[in-house]
Amino acid sequence: MAPVFEYAPAPESRAVVDLAPSYGLFIDGEFTESAGGDLVKTVSPATEEVLAEYTRGTAEDVDRAVRAARKAFETWSALPGAERAKYLFRIARVIQERSRELAVLETLDNGKPIRETRDADLPLVAAHFFYYAGWADKLGHAGFGPDPRPLGVAGQVIPWNFPLLMLAWKIAPALAAGNTVVLKPAETTPLSALFFADICRQAGLPRGVVNIVTGDGATGAALVAHPDVDKVAFTGSTAVGKEIARTVAGTAKKLTLELGGKGANIVFDDAPVDQAVEGIVNGIFFNQGQVCCAGSRLLVQESVHDEVLDALKRRLSTLRLGDPLDKNTDIGAINSAEQLARITALADQGEAEGAERWSPSCELPSSGYWFAPTVFTGVTQAHTIARDEIFGPVLSVLTFRTPDEAVAKANNTPYGLSAGIWTEKGSRMLAVAGRLRAGVIWSNTFNKFDPTSPFGGYKESGFGREGGRHGLEAYLDV
Amino acid sequence: MPDAGPAPARGLTRPVPLRGLYSRYARRYARLVTMPTTAPAPGSTASAPGLADVTASDSTLRLFLHGLPGVDAVGLEARAAALGTRSIKTTAKAYALDLAISMVDLTTLEGADTPGKVRALGAKAVRPDPADRATPSTAAVCVYPDMVPAAKEAVAGSGVKVASVATAFPAGRASLAVKLADVREAVAAGADEVDMVIDRGAFLAGRYLKVYEEITAVKEACGTDARLKVIFETGELSTYDNIRRASWLGMLAGADFIKTSTGKVAVNATPANTLLMLEAVRDFRAATGVQVGVKPAGGIRTAKDAVKFLVLVNETAGADWLDNHWFRFGASSLLNDLLMQRQKLATGRYSGPDYVTVD
Amino acid sequence: MSERLSVLKTYKLYVGGKFPRSESGRVYEVTTRTSAADAAGKGAWLANAPLASRKDARDAVVAARKAFGGWSGATAYNRGQVLYRVAEMLEGRRAQFAREVAAAEGLPKSRAAEQVDAAIDRWVWYAGWTDKIAQVLGGANPVAGPYFNLSSPEPTGVVAVLAPQESSLLGLVSVVAPVIATGNTAVVVASERSPLPALSLAEVLATSDVPGGVVNLLSGRTAEIAPALAAHQDVNAIDLAGADPALAKELEVAAADNLKRVLRPHPVDDWTATPGLDRMTPFLETKTVWHPTGALGVSGSSY
């Protein structure tokens, strides 16, 4: 037996990130103190180390931010598109320049592996600003009439799973279209948005165009309900999304919602098996499964169930879980104690309901929030873990016999965000893709994102699209 | 059971039941062929236990090879690229560099090769870094058949193997008789390993049984002492599906190693085609119990790349292949870069080309 | 010689391609609309229209869901042909509809005829859209990787439509045609006060190759039927054109329960104006499909 090829620790240096002990709110171009909001600690989910303190913004703070954004809107929307474009190009460039720093920061605050922040999050963040920068002076060609107008002040509430990327998805199209924004980052991951404020400073963005109000659910609710907000964009849970939809009912606020999912990843018997296994792994273990479009339900054709599961388990035993800053880490920490508790409870329920639980042997660090990659086999449509979004590294495996059955099972959910299809038969891929009720279909691939590609859900996964030409519609008065 | 050609000695006395991913292909063939129910006698025709019948005829072989799972090129290349981002540092790097050195088939395959050149190469293979005796020897030197005697002499007593290319390398465009004569000459001269090329023309024309029979004939000519490496010239096979089929074809025919390329065409070893072949040997062992080695050759020039290939091995086929009995690099200039990196690691200074030997 | 006594029509609901009475057995009195009568509070009796119940709404949703697969799966060309057929059928009954619209909306004959003509033309307009909307709204996206990436609009599903209260035919057609042109199926609540042109339109639809269940028409109290539709978990979207602001808000809140796509009411001064895409896009989902392309050969990888 050959000696084992042990990878020595390869930690990314955190010296590139200079954290202040505490942060105020970024309103009207400067960091300001809150009117009465207290300071909250944000911790590294991998170690529970306190990284910094940030401000819990109050309704009063939100109002101040909205007023700043309203004031800035007059001049920002009146700027020639070409000028707005140049600001966005500048932001994109500064993000590229500071991408190492931001990747490390994001990994610290979120717990996701540096491999992902470095190779996925940050490149996509920069690409998103580049893409929408180019739209700013071409809005008349976007298919919304010759001179589409911005909406005004956008109130944006983003989640903790891709903090900076979700910021980019929200802010880039809003600014390109001529809106100004008040953005509330997630409670557990406020830091990259606060660093983005500094990027706005370096880019010379006019004051008030981007305002960052950190805080919790109450802060977000105040923003969504603010009467002078013209547009609400939210990415997060379906439950909160419904509450927001009720809040804006009867107003003139335009609303887009990017919510939960329970994506089906369908593997046919003629799939390119090795790539399918990679796709399954990427589908549910990317970002510890804390992805709204995760392929959390594996629908595998019964005739190849055992083969695919064997290959999958073999592959999972090579996943490396641990220090997110280590460049060889595949699986990082769960973002918060709260999320870990939810994942744990749902996985326990899966077991209690009779599904068979499996995890590769892997040692979990003693501090921080960790959950081993987990596969449930013998899952049926009736199991809770086949229906509820777990938002963690937990895969539920179901079987099907025919393409019809696969489609029926895939669609049998209130969600409709993503789905995967694995087959080497082109006509079957197209037929199945045509019948799946989901906004993003990945065939022979999974979890691919691009600023030019519209993203968003059917049914209870929300409405509106982010990305591409379609993503402009949410920020234009059309 | 139809005769499937001469059999290599495998040391396996009974067929291993098909298992894992490839059992379904066997199921697919159950209607066409009879699965072996008894142990083949030593020297019988069962080259790959449990899969012998797929080589019973041209049509069964074709059905089997075309029934292998397809390869999605983008996904395969993405996986290879992702593994290439592993960061191998300090102790892991030291281990990997030494392992890589020990896996090099130090190669010279030039029209201008001379006994003198081959002797120098042999000396280098035995003691790659004269300044550091702890440096491992390479696995082998790889030469043309007529250079085998010179190579044997150069590495005598060292444990370094002599590999000879054969079968009208690199094109393979010769009659079987000529190819076999080529092999016999190399073996007679003492070659420990034979690196044959397959008939790509026959493969691309769909004449899989011809390719198969040629490999089994060469295998027979190798006898029990010389290990057989089968070169597919992946750059000419052109598609990943073909490479997967060729890999299985080679393994079914008794290859001890499957090897990417000759180094003589535009596209040689790549991360993706090597990854694919590693998947093939992994799956073949799962299906038959027989372990086959992999040799990427041509185009791997830096230590950094070589270490990435070792990551491919480690995370695809697994630790069982992290040994020069099962994995080789067909290379020449790679060795010096490995040595320079090794010196850097030992001394903390960057080395330079004047501190390694030029051959 | 005495004048011939005309044969009156019993107006019925239109659900799943059939013409049932309300399961509740209820009717309500529909009267002519004239300014004088308005002033007096009551016009002349026209018909006893079915007073649809929530159960009728439920049945209509079931019919619409059942029809969705076939209608959304039909070719866009076929849907265009069917919509054009509706225009043809309506053209043949211009006089009848002019009479009904005149009575329903209190319009002079000529104005009513204009409304009918505009309604016919609207069907033609949307018939032409069925096989173009995907080209206008969808397309290939140049992603930065070896992938083919295509976005296409798809119908959202079952759409509840509260038809405008004032414009009994043209307004109705203007909100129903875009919904079905894009492949959705519809449960339509007709103008409460003036439902008869809508109920007659059902007869046109039934004879125009529109598959049963694609359009379902209910008459009755908007405020009674609409909440059931807004809260229905198997309805994907709701057009609030016929709701007043208070009702619209209430319905939008109810619609949030399953995140229906909501088209809020906007005042429309002139239904004859050529519509844009505004009534189609709210009921379309964008589906984006990725597929690897890759290279033809094996040369596409290196370290």
Tens digits of residue pLDDT in B23-59: 555 444 433 333 333 443 443 344 555 687 899 999 9
C65-86 tens-digit pLDDT: 999 999 999 999 999 999 999 9
8 A C-beta contact, residue B203 and residue B168:
no
Q: Does residue A278 have an active-site annotation? A: no
Q: Does residue B259 have an active-site annotation? A: yes
Q: Is A102 inside any structural domain?
A: yes
Q: What CA–CA distances, in Å, run from B191 to B176, B188, B329?
A: 20, 7, 18
Q: Which among B21, B245, B277, B316 is the top mutation candidate for probing chain A, defined by the most A β-carbons within 10 Å of its own β-carbon? A: B21
Q: Which one, of A272, A262, A314, A187, lies nearest residue A438 by Cα?
A: A262
A83-142 tens-digit pLDDT: 999 999 999 999 999 999 999 999 999 999 999 999 999 999 999 999 999 999 999 999
Strands B140-143 and B161-166: parallel
Interface B-C, measured as beta-carbon pairs within 8 A, has a size of 52
Q: Give the C-alpha separation, C13 to C196, whole Å.
A: 10
B111 pLDDT higher than 70: yes
pLDDT band at A459 (very low <50, low <70, confident <90, very high): very high
pLDDT band at C41 (very low <50, low <70, confident <90, very high): low
Chain B stretch 187-206, residues whose beta carbon is closer than 8 A to a beta carbon of chain C: none
B181-214 tens-digit pLDDT: 999 999 999 999 999 999 999 999 999 999 999 9
Number of domains in chain C: 1
Q: Is A13 inside any structural domain?
A: no
Contacts of C294 in chain B (CB under 8 A): 72-74, 77
In angstroms, the separation between the Cα of residue A448 and the nearest Cα of chain B is 12
B255-282 tens-digit pLDDT: 999 999 999 999 999 999 999 999 999 9
Q: Does residue B152 have an active-site annotation? A: no
Tell me, yes or no, if C147 comes closer than 8 A to chain B by beta carbon: yes
Q: Is C242 inside any structural domain?
A: yes
A2 pLDDT higher than 50: no
For B301, the closest chain C residue by CA position comes to: C303
The residue range of the domain holding C155 is 52-292
Tell me, yes or no, if A450 comes closer than 8 A to chain B by beta carbon: no
For B302, the closest chain C residue by CA position comes to: C303
Q: Is C213 inside any structural domain?
A: yes
CATH code of the domain containing A310: 3.40.309.10
Q: Which one, of C123, C96, C80, C72, lies nearest residue C199 by Cα?
A: C96
Q: Are residues A115 and A138 both part of a single domain?
A: yes
B1 pLDDT higher than 90: no
Tell me what pLDDT residue B218 has.
98
A269-306 tens-digit pLDDT: 999 999 999 999 999 999 999 999 999 999 999 999 99
- How many percent of chain B have pLDDT more than 90? 84
Q: Give the C-alpha separation, A138 to A472, whole Å.
A: 11
Q: Is A195 inside any structural domain?
A: yes
Q: Is C18 inside any structural domain?
A: no
Q: With b meaning 16 or more CB within 10 Å and e meaning fewer, what string describes A288-326?
A: bbbbbbbbbbbbbbeebbbbbbbbbebbbeebbbbbbbb
Tell me what pLDDT residue B9 has.
39
Tell me what pLDDT residue C64 has.
98
Tell me, yes or no, if A450 comes closer than 8 A to chain C by beta carbon: yes
Q: Are residues A250 and A393 both part of a single domain?
A: no
Cα end-to-end span (Å), chain A: 67
The ranges assigned to domains in chain B are 27-66, 73-347
Q: Evaluate the CA torsion angle B23, B26, B30, B33 in order and state its sign.
A: negative
Q: Are residues A270 and A242 both part of a single domain?
A: no
C236-258 tens-digit pLDDT: 999 999 999 999 999 999 999 99
Chain A stretch 226-265, residues whose beta carbon is closer than 8 A to a beta carbon of chain C: 238, 241-243, 245-246, 249-250, 252, 257, 259
- Burial label, C256 (beta-carbon count in 10 A; 0-12, 13-18, 19+): buried
Tell me what pLDDT residue A92 has.
98
pLDDT band at C297 (very low <50, low <70, confident <90, very high): confident
The residue range of the domain holding A230 is 25-259+458-473
Q: Are residues A176 and A33 both part of a single domain?
A: yes
Q: Which one, of B64, B83, B72, lies nearest residue B22 by Cα?
A: B64
Q: Evaluate the CA torsion angle C172, C177, C178, C180 in order and state its sign.
A: positive
Tell me what pLDDT residue B33 has.
38
CA dihedral B344, B349, B353, B356 (to 10 degrees): -50
Tell me what pLDDT residue C294 has.
82
Q: How high is the mean pLDDT of chain C?
A: 95
Q: Give the C-alpha separation, A114 to A44, whole Å.
A: 13
Q: Are residues A252 and A355 both part of a single domain?
A: no
Helices (H), B193-239: 200-204, 208-222, 234-237
B20 pLDDT higher than 70: no
Number of domains in chain A: 2
B327 pLDDT higher than 60: yes
Tell me what pLDDT residue C39 has.
53
CB-based contact A278 B78, cutoff 8 Å = yes
- How many percent of chain A have pLDDT more than 70? 99
CA A284 to chain centre: 14
Tell me what pLDDT residue B14 has.
37
Q: Are residues A174 and A68 both part of a single domain?
A: yes
CB-based contact B72 A310, cutoff 8 Å = no
pLDDT mean over B320-330: 98
Q: Are residues A251 and A268 both part of a single domain?
A: no
Q: Is A2 inside any structural domain?
A: no
Q: Is C75 inside any structural domain?
A: yes
ipTM of the modeled complex: 0.97
Q: Are residues A187 and A209 both part of a single domain?
A: yes
- Give the H or E element holding residue B196: strand B193-197
A152-166 tens-digit pLDDT: 999 999 999 999 999
Neighbours of B185 (CB within 10 A): 16
Tell me, yes or no, if C41 comes closer than 8 A to chain B by beta carbon: no
CB-based contact C256 A448, cutoff 8 Å = no
A405 pLDDT higher than 80: yes
| C-alpha angle B78-B84-B90 in degrees, rounded to nearest 5 | 160
Chain C stretch 99-158, residues whose beta carbon is closer than 8 A to a beta carbon of chain A: 136-137, 141-145, 147, 149, 151, 156
Tell me what pLDDT residue B37 has.
38
Tell me what pLDDT residue C131 has.
98
B22 pLDDT higher than 60: no
This prediction has a pTM of 0.94
CB-based contact B95 A6, cutoff 8 Å = yes
Tell me what pLDDT residue C37 has.
53
Tell me what pLDDT residue A255 has.
98
Chain A stretch 213-272, residues whose beta carbon is closer than 8 A to a beta carbon of chain B: 269-272
pLDDT mean over C111-124: 98
Q: Is A368 inside any structural domain?
A: yes
pLDDT mean over A68-85: 98
Tell me what pLDDT residue C43 has.
86
In angstroms, the separation between the Cα of residue A300 and the nearest Cα of chain B is 14
DSSP per-residue letters across chain C: -PPPPPPPP----BBTTB-PPPTT--EEEEE---HHHHHHT---EEEEEE---HHHHHHHHHHHHHHHHHHHHS-HHHHHHHHHHHHHHHHTTHHHHHHHHHHHHT--HHHHHHHHHHHHHHHHHHHHHTTTHHHHH-EE---SSSEEEEEEEEE-SEEEEE--SS-TTHHHHHHHHHHHHTT-EEEEE--SS--HHHHHHHHHHHTTTPPTTSEEEE-S-HHHHHHHHHH-TT--EEE-TT--HHHHHHHHHHHGGGT-EEE-----S-TTSPP-STTTGGGEEEEEEEEE---SSS-----
Q: Are residues A224 and A85 both part of a single domain?
A: yes
Interface A-C, measured as beta-carbon pairs within 8 A, has a size of 102
Tell me what pLDDT residue B16 has.
42
pLDDT band at C35 (very low <50, low <70, confident <90, very high): low
A173-207 tens-digit pLDDT: 999 999 999 999 999 999 999 999 999 999 999 99
Q: In this structure, which CATH number among 3.40.718.10, 3.20.20.70, 3.30.43.10, 3.40.50.300 belongs to the domain B73-347?
A: 3.20.20.70
Q: Is C27 inside any structural domain?
A: no
pLDDT mean over B155-174: 97
Q: Is C46 inside any structural domain?
A: no
Tell me, yes or no, if A349 comes closer than 8 A to chain B by beta carbon: no
pLDDT mean over A263-267: 98
Tell me what pLDDT residue C33 has.
84
Q: Are residues A203 and A330 both part of a single domain?
A: no
CB-based contact A272 B87, cutoff 8 Å = no
Here the tokens at position C280 are 């189609």
CATH code of the domain containing C216: 3.40.605.10
Contacts of C302 in chain B (CB under 8 A): 270-271, 299
CB-based contact A2 B319, cutoff 8 Å = yes
Q: How many residues does chain A have?
A: 478
Q: Are residues A406 and A309 both part of a single domain?
A: yes
CA C138 to chain centre: 23
A22-59 tens-digit pLDDT: 999 999 999 999 989 999 999 999 999 999 999 999 99
Q: Are residues A236 and A268 both part of a single domain?
A: no
Q: Give the C-alpha separation, B83 to B28, whole Å.
A: 33
| C-alpha angle C212-C215-C218 in degrees, rounded to nearest 5 | 110
CB-based contact C299 B235, cutoff 8 Å = yes
Chain B stretch 228-247, residues whose beta carbon is closer than 8 A to a beta carbon of chain C: 234-235, 237-240, 243
CB-based contact B75 C301, cutoff 8 Å = no
